[in-house]
Amino acid sequence: MSAQDGPENGDWLEIAVVVAGIDAETIADIFRQTCEGGAAIQPSSRLDRETDTYVLDGDGPAIVKGYLRPGAESSRLQDSLRIAVDLAPLLRPAEWREVTPLPETSWRDEWKKYFGLQRIGRSLVIRPSWVDYDRNDSDVVIEIDPGLAFGTGQHPTTAMCLRALEQLVEDRMSVLDIGCGSGILSIAAAKLGAARVLAVDTDPQAVSATQANVAVNSIGAVEVREGTLDVGGTSDERFDIVVANISGLAIERLAPAIAGVLKPRGRLIASGFLDDAVGTLTSAFAAVDLTVERVVEDGVWRAMLARRGDA
């Protein structure tokens, strides 16, 4: 079906495409830029036996869905989406589904289908606002609703960073979150005991989303700024932990600046890349006195934990 042939009966049009799980966030980002009704990922899931929860399987296919208002403009937007997806560097070609009309109520329900309660690590709980549950005394609850910014805990890279924060954050620590997205990692760090958290992102939408989510979670320890680290390393701020869930290339470029803002013996949690980036990042870290302590795997995705030297 061409974009021009799409149905026009309903409050929304659901545009859906099947892609490799590893490409789902890339396509969702494209959809979010165009679809006023937002975008959602219907992932392949697998059981994480360590936490006894289902998490996104980066090795399986995923369906990315975007929501447009029907009308003449929607045809142009659908054509734009197809061109953008065709030009994206995907593992394998995208498979488009038939455009489906949805009433307002169904659109709202579609959002909620793919975002349930998630338990990550020993005590972290990611809860959408519409989910009720019996809270355990030890639960550290983060309320996050799906929105325009990346980061609801579903993606393996986010989950790996959350587990690492749970292991490393201690009371009174300071944490820098580079590429904060929805703010989920910043909020987790604060709720785990960090006295100060700085969340930065170059995307104004991510900054707004983080500010909103910080307010919902009633966190006073998180400061949100638009921007990123100074590659020249001139910042005079220092942190016990830096978490960067971005991309391998961005982390490699920022490695000197990251080392520059870490306190002696400070820790780096880096994720957002595949196995082929591990060797390059290990070398980049070594060049700035960051020693890799552990590489974590989750499906096709990797995270690295590194420590700065004593100097």
At 12, give phi and psi (nearest 5°): -140, 155
The answer to whether 122 and 166 have CB atoms below 8 angstroms apart is yes
Confidence (pLDDT) at 135? 85
Q: Give the CA angle between residues 76, 78, 83 to the nearest 5°.
A: 95
pLDDT above 90 (res 28): no
Res 157 pLDDT > 50: yes
Confidence of residue 4 (pLDDT cuts 50, 70, 90): very low
* Amino acid of residue 156: P
pLDDT by residue (tens digit) across 275-311? 999 999 999 999 999 999 999 998 778 999 999 998 6
Local confidence band at 49 (pLDDT 50, 70, 90 cut-offs): low
Quickly name the fold that domain 3-113 has: Alpha-Beta Plaits (3.30.70)
pLDDT in tens, 138-152: 999 999 876 545 566
Q: How far apart are CA 159 and CA 29, in angstroms?
A: 19
Confidence bin at 46 (pLDDT 50/70/90) = low
Count of all residues that appear for the chain in the document: 311
Give 217-226 pLDDT, tens digit per residue. Answer: 999 899 999 9
Q: Which residue has the higher pLDDT, 46 or 71?
A: 71
Q: Find out whether 178 and 229 touch, Cβ atoms under 8 Å.
A: yes
Higher pLDDT, 275 or 155: 275
pLDDT of residue 3: 34
| pLDDT over 60 (residue 199) | yes
pLDDT of 229 above 70: yes
Position with higher pLDDT, 1 vs 192: 192
Reply yes or no on domain 118-308 having CATH 3.40.50.150.
Answer: yes
State yes or no: pLDDT of 2 exceeds 60: no
CA dihedral 221, 226, 229, 232 (to 10 degrees): -140
What average pLDDT does the chain have?
85
Q: Which residue did the predictor score with more confidence, 236 or 23?
A: 23
- Mean pLDDT to the nearest integer, 184-207: 93
Most confident of 17-26, 37-46, 102-111: 17-26
Higher-pLDDT residue of 131, 288: 288
Provide, rounded to the nearest whole percent, the portion of the chain with pLDDT above 70.
85
Q: Which residue has the tokens 């899931």?
A: 45
Complete edge-to-edge strand list for the sheet that includes strand 124-127: 118-120, 124-127, 140-143
- The set of residues, in sequence order, having a beta carbon less than 8 Å from that of 155 and lying 6+ positions away, is 25, 56, 301
Reported confidence tier of residue 203, pLDDT bands at 50, 70, 90: confident
Q: What percentage of the chain carries pLDDT values higher than 90?
A: 50
Sorted by where each begins, the domain ranges of the chain are 3-113, 118-308
* Residue 118 neighbours by CB under 8 Å, 6+ apart: 53, 55, 125, 126, 153, 154
Q: What is the rounded average pLDDT of the residues 11-25?
A: 89
pLDDT-derived band at 179, boundaries 50, 70, 90 = very high
What's the rounded Cα separation, in Å, for the pair 258 and 241? 10
The answer to whether 262 touches 238, Cβ cutoff 8 Å, is yes
Task: Kindly indicate the confidence band of residue 23, based on its pLDDT and cuts at 50, 70 and 90.
Answer: confident
Contact 128, 116 (CB under 8 A): yes
